[in-house]
Amino acid sequence: MPAELDLQQLRAFFLVAQLGSFSGAARRLFRTQSAVSHAVRKLEDSAGLRLLVRRGRLVRPTEEGLRLTQACESIFATLELAQEDLQKGHTRAAGRLRLGVTVEFGSSVLLRHIQPFVAAHPGLELDFHLGPELLGPLLREDIDLAIDCVNHHVPALERTPLFREAYQVACAPAYRDALRLRRPADLARCTVLSMDKECAWWNRFLSAIPKARRPALGRIMAVNHIRGMINAAVHGLGVVIAPSYSLQSELTRGSLVPCFPSIRPLEDWFALYQKTSKARLAKHRLLKEYLQGLKVSAFSSRPSRGG
């Protein structure tokens, strides 16, 4: 008769399967790599199955290991819910909550609006991960929730629409006057600042113009960060398209001026993503409710039904 599965061994296996690395799991568990390897080997001996295989430098679960990984996700989410339920008499929300968010929105908006949530939940340790790619960290559980404008279609994730992300085109006043920038066709003689050399970043503007009237773009200067593009535009290096909230300080000071205000670029949609298995946790629910209750008129607008 197979031996009963050991919870600590399951935890070690689950982290290795998630992270694709024994060393990564060891760091997360504050154990040595050899201790994690030993725990996984004992689990495989108990189960009588091979659960992990090495593929190059990465470790991946076998078919049986994948089924066990899915079971582990449910097991550890249930245990976290049970632990939270036991603590209800002491505090409404406690523990650590790691929130992933895109760099510009996180630094320009979220960190300015999150203080009331932090103050209302002193037992909750809230950490932020600002980065351009959030799906991988969320699936690996390096973060617990993500606010992202990329639409992720992953069955294991719950998606909650939050608000729109509007965009605006702008440049320095002197640049506008020097290049006689008055209509979209004038972009052909300008430098456009883009996150990518192929200028896919500008599709949200070009797609808002009928195809027959879409302008050609002039020289493309690639800058792989929104704040970098905005600073480049302020110093007269070209024309930028960026989220409206990220341009407000420069537009207010007059270091940038709007271009083509009658044209409304296509909008992105920010949503909150979390693993469905963890959505019932009080700390997750409280943060979701807070974000849904934010008065976003200062930086955005709410999505319509079904957005």
Fold of the 95-163+269-298 domain: D-Maltodextrin-Binding Protein; domain 2 (3.40.190)
Percent of all residues in the chain with a pLDDT value above 90, rounded to a whole number: 61
* pLDDT, tens digit (0-9, with 9 covering 90-100), for 71-108: 888 888 788 777 777 766 555 667 889 999 999 999 98
The crossing angle, in degrees rounded to 10, of helices 244-253 and 226-234 is 20
CATH number listed for the domain at residues 167-259:
3.40.190.10
Percent of all residues in the chain with a pLDDT value above 70, rounded to a whole number: 93
Please compute the mean of the pLDDT values over residues 216-243 and round it to a whole number: 96
* pLDDT, tens digit (0-9, with 9 covering 90-100), for 185-215: 999 999 999 999 999 999 999 999 999 999 9
Structural contact between residues 184 and 263, judged by C-beta atoms closer than 8 angstroms: yes
What pLDDT is recorded for position 302? 58
In terms of Cβ atoms closer than 10 Å to its own Cβ (0-12, 13-18, 19+), residue 119 is exposed
Dist CA 97 CA 178 (whole Å): 50
Query: Residue 243 belongs to what H/E stretch?
Result: strand 239-243
Phi, psi of 163, rounded to the nearest 5 degrees: -165, 170
Q: Tell me, what amino acid is at 72?
A: C
At the top level of CATH, the class of 7-86 is mainly alpha
Query: Residue 148 belongs to what H/E stretch?
Result: strand 145-148
Question: Is pLDDT at 306 greater than 50 in this prediction?
Answer: no
The segment with the largest mean pLDDT, out of 81-85, 246-250, 294-298, is 246-250
Structural contact between residues 287 and 92, judged by C-beta atoms closer than 8 angstroms: no
Task: Between 268 and 220, name the one with better pLDDT.
Answer: 220
Q: Which of 104, 124, 140, 163 is nearest to 21 (CA)?
A: 140
What pLDDT is recorded for position 15? 85
Structure tokens at 45: 């001996």
Dist CA 259 CA 181 (whole Å): 8
Q: What is the pTM of this model?
A: 0.76
Question: Is pLDDT at 169 greater than 90 in this prediction?
Answer: yes
Dist CA 307 CA 305 (whole Å): 5
Mean pLDDT, the chain, rounded, equals 89
For 86, the 3-state DSSP assignment is helix
Question: What is the C-alpha end-to-end distance of the chain, expressed in Å?
Answer: 52
What pLDDT is recorded for position 214? 94
What pLDDT is recorded for position 1? 39
162 confidence band (pLDDT: 50, 70, 90): very high
Question: Is pLDDT at 176 greater than 70 in this prediction?
Answer: yes
Q: 42-56, 129-143, 162-176: which range is least confident on average?
A: 42-56
Question: Is pLDDT at 253 greater than 80 in this prediction?
Answer: yes
Given this chain, do its domains 7-86 and 167-259 carry the same CATH topology?
no
What pLDDT is recorded for position 89? 53
2 confidence band (pLDDT: 50, 70, 90): low
Q: What is the DSSP string of 271-289?
A: EEEEEGGGTTSHHHHHHHH
For 171, the 3-state DSSP assignment is strand
The domain segmentation of the chain, as residue ranges, is 7-86, 95-163+269-298, 167-259
